[in-house]
Amino acid sequence: MDHRIHQLPHQHALNVTAPVRQPSSKSNVNFKDVLTEQTGLKISKHASERLQERNIEIDTKQWEQINDKVKEAKAKGITDSLVITEQAALLVSAKNNTVVTAMNRQEATSRIFTNINGTILMDK
């Protein structure tokens, strides 16, 4: 028995085509995905839950401003920062472009924040 591979004549070649995927008619776009796509800033699952349960709403314009400031802080060597807005305090990993956790300003007033090496104060 010959165990070598033999080339088949062209007429016997297999024609394999990849299945064609039909685009889904249903769109499951969530805010977190849109934010990441638009700004590059990601929101961790934990932070997303905290924003929701504490009714913290940050509009797209302010997310863009936060992202710009985080990029600026990263350029200055900041790896983990506290971002304070009128409504919230966010712990952000500048190194990973990820919001790690969030709390409203009232909760943040009596807290001690550790493991940060920069603070970003945001006006409106």
pLDDT value of position 12: 53
* Confidence (pTM): 0.68
Query: Amino acid letter at 80?
Result: D
Quick: pLDDT tens for 50-71: 999 999 999 999 999 999 999 9
Looking up tokens 């200055």 gives 76
Q: Which two tokens stand for residue 122?
A: 């945001």
Those residues of the chain that have pLDDT short of 70 are: 1-39, 124
Rounded-to-integer distance, Cα 108 and Cα 89, Å: 6
Rounded-to-integer distance, Cα 29 and Cα 25, Å: 12
> 31-39 and 60-75 are packed helices; what angle lies between their axes, rounded to 10 degrees?
50
